[in-house]
Amino acid sequence: MGMDFSTLRTLISRYCAGEENWVDSRTIYIGHKEPPPGTEAFIQQRFPDNRIVSSKYTFWNFIPKNLFEQFRRVANFYFLIIFLVQLIIDTPTSPITSGLPLFFVITVTAIKQGYEDWLRHKADNAVNRCPVHVVQHGKIVRKQSRKLRVGDVVLVKEDESFPCDLVLLSTSRDDGTCYVTTASLDGESSHKTYYAVQDTKAYNTEKEVDAIHATIECEQPQPDLYKFVGRINVYMGNESVARPLGSENLLLRGATLKNTSYIYAVAIYSGMETKMALNYQSKSQKRSAVEKSMNAYLLVYLCILISKAIINTALKYVWQADPNRDEPWYNHRTETERQRHVLIRAFTDFLAFMVLFNYIIPVSMYVTVEMQKFLGSYFIMWDDEMMDEELGERAVVNTSDLNEELGQVEYVFTDKTGTLTENNMEFIECCVDGHVYVPQVICNGQVLPDAVGMDMIDTSPGPDAREREELFFRALCLCHTVQVKEEETVDGIKHGIHQGKSTSFYISSSPDEVALVEGMKRLGFTYLRLKDGQMEILNREDEIEKFELLEVLTFDSVRRRMSVIVKANTGELYLFCKGADSSIFPRVVSGKVDQIRARVEQNAVEGLRTLCVAYRHLSPEQYEEVCHLLSDAKLALQDRDRRLAEAYDLIEKDLILLGATAVEDRLQEKAADTIESLHKAGMKVWVLTGDKMETAAATCYASKLFRRSTQILELTTKRTEEQSLHDVLFDLSRTVLRQHGDMTRDTFSSFSGDCTDYGLIIDGATLSAVMRPNQDDLNSGNYKEIFLEICRNCSAVLCCRMAPLQKAQIVKLIKASKEHPITLAVGDGANDVSMILEAHVGIGIMGKEGRQAVRNSDYAVPKFKHLKKMLLVHGHYYYIRISELVQYFFYKNVCFIFPQFLYQFFCGFSQQPLYDTAYLTLYNISFTSLPILLYSLIEQHINMDILKKDPTLYRDISKNSLLRWPIFIYWTILGVYDAIVMFFGAYFLFDNTTFTSNGQMFGNWTFGTLVFTVLVFTVTFKLALDTHYWTWINHFVIWGSLIFFVVFSLLWGGIIWPFLNYQRMYYVFMQMLSSGPAWLSIILLITASLLPDVLKKVIWRSLWPTTTERIQSADKLYEGQLSEFTPLASLHGPPKARTSDPQRNGSNPRRSEPFNKKVMITRWKQKPDYCTFTPLVRFTDGARHSKQGYTYSGAGSETSV
């Protein structure tokens, strides 16, 4: 009876609405075994199979689903409606004229999307049919991966990937650990350590593993790769033991087993519920400014189209008011037509005119734009200058839809570590109780030759200090998660630990930790290994010391610290803690805090990354209390993270400060040059980092974000503690506005020397206060506006101590400001993903913090320096090309359809088409499409070297300047003018009765063909006149398309085609070309059409040339060698007054000025040890030996980096 109630209780708890246990957790029975009677009810839950589906379509739903998606596009849907109208009512043009281009567009897009989806199906099948080994009834059974079920026990061997998310039960290692690489998940190639369940790690054979009787309770699937909460109940007879499960026990699908022969693990999440699959979710669609302009222009042309149809319909009924015109003798109406209501007739006529003029909306423009973006993106991927030889990586394009947006960037938001810097940490120094220690630079006990004449710093601490120093070194050798790669095979011979000396190397997910452990090795304390729960270190006397590792309190970005609890051979218990100064100092009760704080601040100002180290003795009673706190928190299924954080908070207190470390993260090559170029291009650069203010500020000076002349404004917690946030904001606002007055951002961004250059520093806490002000503060409503106003008038902004979400908030704030600027975010780590997704354009750096940023970005580059060419060259070209493409498409369609509109005035508004059906259909598909597509792929209006050399040219195209309304109106007026010249020119030439050689008179189809011939030649020549970069491909395509038109017209009119019911174009084209006056008309009309545009360009270039036009003219003068011979500054407009500033190009002394080296002598042994320290960051090989360094050859003064 008790069993029945237990079953009922379990059912209610699992299935009742609102019950948290059912919503938040799942129960897995290992090996599908029922739990022992009386423990809990056996309710087998249903889970999905292990099939991975990344494809979008199936064989059955491809056609309807793809058509639905394509017709959601406004242009496609519009042409579908036009096509249906042509089918339903009697229209002047054949349905083929709309149907064929639409069918072509839909088919090409469907084939492209279908092919991409077929590749996804292929990849899915390869994964789903992969063999896996499952333990069943004590034997190993081979299955396909898709048939794996939750609860199956899986055997995975070395170098195999995990088929689903697994909980580790046992491994081939005695200590129950295994090593895993997660490169396919987050790009980190380092070996991570995972741990088997304590009670099952001894089971190493199939039969033993099959005998395991246990259930797992864990959270429902969620996408966070680094979070897992669960517990395992292991049944020993009728007793059950509960153990916590965390992310250290969870092996993720896609990760690979390394340095471990085999493991046994149980499947807990399968198929589309694995963490990898949950991270497949698609990003929100980003739309470029050009696409928005296209849609706006499309609406204007749609209004023009409707207006034309309404005007023609109205005039038709005015014309037909006269009965003789309404029903001429040769065209009597039927009885049905007479009885039809006038409104229905008017509506039918309106639709007929809509069909006749619908070609003003260019459906093929969308296809051409898509092809241009798709093919154009390969130029980034093929660019050898954007390839990194060291990484062997090229630039990657994940989204080709935003190519032109690279030419419109106004704000650049960049991460610091790994983006501006190399994320290649080098241990510089450590400070213990005020004594500074640096790595040894000695050779056989002799000071190196370059140490002669250096400043000598003598530090001779007493015996107590010696003990504290060694405790500090031990703390750094023990407080970490570094792994030792003990064996390395070289030429088939294994090398490893030899005679107690470590010849191994260190691996960690954090480069800081490796730098610290290697630094300790250079100072005499070597971390050897973690074996059987014992951490071994080699001290200065070459003795191996062993410490039992009891607990690891892992690092997290909220606490900003990590701790370990170890037990020495003497039985003493220590808690060692290391972390950011802001998280350690408040928890310290003793130690030389002031001296260490001063050293930390000095190092931070010099741009070094600092960490503080502290410790605490634990009594056995205190340790028992710690164990109790941690086990309670770890076993919790609900709010485990919060409870662990509370437990860590209680444990990491009453610390004794030992010292601090300084690690250097060098600037990336040409980072300063890149930032300076972006500034000159008119972009505002913001650095968003989690680092402390002093370190980040030093990096900003070194990278030329801040200059020595920059006046720094601080909006930090320290300042808001002294004044209210309201007062600080208004003070800063008054400061910047008093200087700049009503200056526009454009004026200010030129950084003229007669105004102060401001830089703003804000921290995360103050930013939170600005974004979410106190509700009680009546003046809080406009904090964001004031903050934005301050930022607008600053040349650069540094945001430090930022959480990942705050980075995205900053980007969103700027995006939503009244100017709606185009933003670009660049970062290399998982913490930058939110900012990358939020910005208009997201760029990932292929750094050392994994590949998450790269996977979520729109574009990825190997190094920060490649951003310069991507924006200033590729972005510039893409924008120039696509803006010409869009304007040209609308122009050539106005030229095409406006004569048709004028023709209605001369044919009694009878909806008679001016052009033949073949011409209507092929105008946009064949005759005029290829030249503009090629132009939009290879046009270079200015030499590539000049664009790199003179970043200010980027400003000529900023703010969507080539797609503004005045330029759009100019192109439209030009199209209307050309159409009027073509139509009335041909009309007046026909008015003088023109005869062929045999005296035959021209008819209406000859008239239409003459206009169409002039049209095709005019729009093609217009594009040829706009082309600056000529290659054999341009010549082939432009002149080839004209030849194709002539050849097609000759064939179309010269052959009697059997599939045509009537052939109205028979011999029309040949007859027209046989007439001398027709040839003269064509030449005169083409010249008259093109002349105003040519004159306008000549006059404008002579009187009001832009910088771009000056450089184009000079480049032609120097025959393309401008970039080598001419100072570009001379080609700009009148120069602005600049005040000379000798320190303008200065950077942080630590990074660019030579220092005297310091030598420290430490008297521990008979012979002195000499340690040299070179506090100098070198950016290039040239800078190592001379003060010249790398010189940026841009416009204006040279800048040494």
The catalytically annotated residue of 152, 349, 401, 415 is 415
Known catalytic residue at 458: no
Q: C-alpha 100: how far from its chain's center?
A: 38
Q: What is the CA radius of gyration of the chain?
A: 37
Among 1065, 1019, 1070, residue whose Cα is nearest residue 1042: 1019
User: Which pLDDT does position 752 carry in this prediction?
Assistant: 41
| Cβ-count burial 89-122 (b if 16+ within 10 Å, e if not) | eebbbebebbbbbbebbbeebbeebeeebeeebe
Cα distance between residue 473 and residue 937, in whole Å: 60
Cα distance between residue 423 and residue 417, in whole Å: 6
User: Which pLDDT does position 152 carry in this prediction?
Assistant: 92
Cα distance between residue 755 and residue 734, in whole Å: 15
Cα distance between residue 482 and residue 527, in whole Å: 9
User: Which pLDDT does position 1132 carry in this prediction?
Assistant: 61
Q: Where are the beta strands (DSSP E) in 122-227?
A: 131-136, 139-144, 153-157, 165-171, 177-181, 192-195, 214-219
Strand partners, 493: 490
User: Which pLDDT does position 541 carry in this prediction?
Assistant: 86
566-572-575-581 Cα dihedral, nearest 10 degrees: -120
The secondary structure element, H or E, covering residue 316 is: helix 289-319
Backbone φ and ψ for 966, nearest 5 degrees, come out as -60, -40
User: Which pLDDT does position 970 carry in this prediction?
Assistant: 92
DSSP per residue, 188-203:
--SPEEEE--TTTTT-
Cα distance between residue 707 and residue 415, in whole Å: 19
598-604: long-range pairs with CB below 8 Å, 24+: 599/431, 599/434, 599/436, 599/660, 600/431, 600/660, 601/694, 603/428, 603/429, 603/660, 603/662, 604/692, 604/693, 604/694, 604/695, 604/698
Block means of pLDDT (10 residues each) for the chain, length 1201 residues?
43 39 71 75 78 82 88 79 82 75 82 81 85 90 91 92 92 85 61 84 87 89 81 83 88 86 93 78 66 83 88 84 64 67 81 82 80 88 86 82 88 85 81 81 35 35 74 91 63 41 65 85 86 85 89 78 90 91 88 89 82 91 88 79 86 91 84 89 89 76 81 82 81 78 46 65 85 58 81 87 81 88 86 83 78 78 90 92 91 91 83 82 85 91 87 86 89 93 85 56 78 93 91 92 90 72 70 78 90 91 82 67 49 47 38 34 36 33 36 31 25
Measuring CA to CA, how many Å separate 1195 from each of 47, 647, 681?
Answer: 64, 59, 11
Give residue for tokens 């008239």: 1007
pTM value? Answer: 0.70
Helix (H, G, I), strand (E, B) or coil at 1141: coil
Backbone φ and ψ for 371, nearest 5 degrees, come out as -65, -40
Among 735, 694, 695, 737, residue whose Cα is nearest residue 713: 735
**Tokens at 636, concatenated:** 């919790």
- Per DSSP bridges, beta strands 239-245 and 230-236 are antiparallel
User: Which pLDDT does position 755 carry in this prediction?
Assistant: 58
Q: Is the C-alpha dihedral spanning 947, 951, 956, 958 positive or negative?
A: positive
